[in-house]
Chain A
Amino acid sequence: MKLWSPFSGGQAKIGRLAPRKPSLAGLTIGVLDNSKPNAGALLHRVAELLAARTGAAGVRGWSKPSAARPAEILDDIAKGADVVLTGSAD
């Protein structure tokens, strides 16, 4: 029998990611902590190790108050860091 599919996906527009940097030397690594337990601990540790390995200028941190809400500080982060790490998990 012929049936209507119950799916109705959104229009899949593929966006462009920010161009990657050839190297992190001299750059500021940003961290956006989503406030999930230990997210900040892991993200900052990764950023510190990366900075030590690549000669990045430093690490700057931001956090959003709840993982259940979108961040409202993205423009601020974009101005203050060259690359950014963030997270999604428990």
Chain B
Amino acid sequence: MLGTDAFLSLARATSAKHGLPHMPVALVPHPLGGIPTDTARAKADAILDEVLRGLTSDPTPPATTAAARPTLVEAPEDLDAFQLWAMEQEWSDGLPVLPPTEARVAKILGRRAGEELASTLMPLDGRATLHAIAVNAALAGAGPEHLPVIIAAVRAVATPQFNLNAIQCTTHPCSPLVIVNGPIAARLGVAGGPNALGNGHRANAVIGRALRLVLQNVGGARPGREDRATLGHPGKFTYCLAENEAQSPWEPLHVERGFAREDSTVTVCGSEPPHNVNDHGSTTGETLMAALAGTAATTGSNNIYLAGDPLVILGPEHAQTLASSGWSKQDFQSRFWDAARVPMAKFSADNIARFKLTHPERFENAGPDTLLPFASKPEDVMVIVAGGPGKHSAIVPTFGATRSVTERIEA
């Protein structure tokens, strides 16, 4: 395998995941992308001997290691010393964590079978047993009442269409956004109203954070190593909200996806941070569309060239404006899909050449006037209503090569 030096940890994680940690890897200096082709080709000479050695001499495989079992470890009693220790052990996301003592983990787990496997998580193929999930929930500060939501989210991200390995390891700034629907949101206090994606809500904070810690500690996506995010985003601490079903003029997301209104679900999306849509002036759906579509249709969006199912979070007042124009959710999806387009001419010639190579089905016959949509079809545009009073909505683009997954929460 050939790679660049900055990405060695990812190359190693990928080969180890396939049971081949001893696969020969030859490295050239980073970067390869965004440089002239001749400069990239010139990097070949320096690694020729190493590549030839990799193809002609058998490397020694390392010894087999046993599967991980739940392990008790000795940690400092003093809470400040414990925080430093937890960072050194790479247990934490940088914020203080609560100690996962035997008693706290047992309380969170309750009568569930700890050895039950919820899913396996990439890139490490880590075993997300209910016990491992409960330990990370304890670290995150969650209580037993939050565990069913966290377990459902851990199952959801492991569904193949979510493409977790790419979400965990990409340079793109994405992280699972957890959308909670149904009666459990009110029961747990998962906020869908004012500041729903901000601070001040324990359930939002600990559910999103527990999922993140599971992805880091069980999935094995360590920041700057297997997790190759160039910048990352603040939602990698926690990224969770409820849909504001009470103030939506339309049916909520889980009902749209075939669940009963009284079912509780989580939906996970491989999401960028929210991009705000400020519109205090528009009084009709037609006029509000300019701000919504304009915020979505940008040249730097993964969804423009990789498609996927990006999300529109409508503030309740904006949703009301759309509904007052007589629009159903489907009407909105269809009109938004028509409007949120980027003309091909807005992209650089370098990028157009690359798109034609990597996604010929979308770009081969596109000319400068071709309008590129934000998703492949109107129904791929996800829509929820959330937030409090005010004239703001948000566009939440995704990684693109990922699909959202909705999972029932088993209480």
Which A residues are within 8 Å of any B CB, using their own CB?
Answer: 1-17, 19-24, 35-39, 41-43, 45-46, 49-50, 53-54, 65-66, 68-69, 83, 85-90
User: Is there an interface contact between B51 and A38, defined as CB atoms closer than 8 Å?
Assistant: no
B352 at the interface (CB under 8 A from A): no
Q: A13–B54 Cα gap in the complex (Å)?
A: 22
Report chain B residues within 8 Å CB of A45. Answer: 40-41, 44
The answer to whether B84 has its CB under 8 Å from any CB of chain A is: no
Is residue B213 contacting chain A, with contact meaning CB distance below 8 A? yes
Known: A8-B132, A24-B52, A88-B14. A35 touches B358 (CB 8 A): yes
Taking the nearest CB of chain A, how far is it from the CB of B212, in angstroms? 12
Beyond A10-B126, A87-B2, A87-B3, whether A24 also contacts B68 by CB under 8 A is: no
A65 B2 Cβ-Cβ under 8 A: no
Judge if B135 is at the interface, Cβ distance under 8 Å. yes
Report chain B residues within 8 Å CB of A12.
16, 19, 64-67
Known: A17-B22, A89-B7, A90-B30. A6 touches B70 (CB 8 A): no
Using Cβ atoms and an 8 Å threshold, which residues of chain B touch A17? 20, 22-23, 58-59, 61
Nearest Cβ distance between residue A67 and chain B, in whole angstroms? 8
Residues of B within 8 A of A39 (CB): 32
The 9 closest A-B pairs by CB, nearest first: A10-B125, A15-B19, A37-B33, A8-B132, A38-B40, A68-B401, A45-B44, A11-B67, A89-B4
- A37's partner among B28, B34, B57 (CB-CB below 8 A) is B34
The docked-state distance in angstroms from the alpha carbon of A72 to that of B138 is 40
B261 → chain A, closest Cβ, in Å? Answer: 35
Evaluate contact between A86 and B2: CB separation under 8 angstroms.
yes
Would you give the shortest CB distance from B72 to chain A, in whole angstroms?
5
**Complex Cα gap A49–B2 (Å):** 15
**A17-B59, A49-B44 known; A66 and B2 CB under 8 Å?**
no
- Specify the chain A residue showing the minimal Cβ separation from B23: A17
Given contacts A8-B132, A21-B56, contact A42 B44 (CB under 8 A): yes
- A23–B55 Cα gap in the complex (Å)? 8
Tell me the minimal C-beta distance from A60 to chain B in angstroms: 15
Are B3's CB and A3's CB within 8 A? no
Which residues in A have their C-beta under 8 angstroms from that of B246? none
Known contacts A3-B72, A6-B132, A45-B40; 5 further A-B pairs (Cβ under 8 A):
A10-B17, A37-B354, A45-B44, A89-B6, A90-B33
Which of B11, B124, B218, B399 contacts A6, CB < 8 Å?
B218
Whether the pair B72, A2 counts as a contact (CB closer than 8 A) is yes
Closest chain A residue to B136, Cβ basis: A6
* Interface of B toward A, CB cutoff 8 Å: 1-4, 6-7, 10-11, 14, 16-23, 28, 30-35, 37, 40-41, 43-45, 47-48, 51-52, 54-59, 61-68, 70-77, 82, 91, 99-102, 105, 120, 124-129, 131-132, 135-136, 138-139, 163, 166, 170-171, 213, 217-218, 220, 228, 306, 354, 357-359, 399-401
> Does B70 lie within 8 Å of A5, measured CB to CB?
yes
- Give CA–CA (A9, B121) in the complex, Å: 9
B155 CB, nearest partner CB in chain A, Å: 15
Question: What residues of chain B lie closer than 8 Å to A14, measured between beta carbons?
Answer: 19-22, 61-64
**Could you tell me if B11 and A89 are in contact, using CB atoms closer than 8 angstroms?**
yes
Docked complex Cα distance between A87 and B27 (Å)? 10
Q: Tell me if B11 and A2 are in contact (CB < 8 A).
A: no
16 cross-chain CB contacts under 8 A: A2-B74, A3-B100, A4-B138, A8-B126, A8-B131, A9-B220, A13-B19, A24-B55, A37-B34, A39-B32, A46-B2, A49-B45, A54-B52, A66-B358, A68-B400, A86-B1
Could you say which of B3, B217, B354 contacts A7, with CB atoms under 8 Å apart? Answer: B217
Distance (whole angstroms) from the CB of A76 to the closest CB of chain B: 19
Nearest A-chain residue to B351, judged by Cβ: A37
A89 touches B72 (CB 8 A): no
> In the bound complex, do residue B101 and residue A13 qualify as a contact, i.e. CB atoms below 8 Å apart?
no
How far does the alpha carbon of A31 sit from the alpha carbon of B32 in the complex, in Å?
A: 17
| Minimum CB–CB distance for B56 against chain A, Å | 5
Q: Are B357 and A35 in contact (CB under 8 A)?
A: yes
Residues of A within 8 A of B21 (CB): 14
Q: Is the CB of B56 within 8 A of A20?
A: yes
Count chain B CB atoms within 10 A of each CB in A17, A36, A66, A85 and give the residue with the most.
Answer: A17
Q: Which A residues are CB-close (under 8 A) to B71?
A: 4-5, 7
Smallest beta-carbon distance B352→chain A, Å: 13
Note all chain A residues with C-beta closer than 8 A to B11.
Answer: 88-89
Set of chain B residues within 8 Å of A23, measured between Cβ atoms = 56
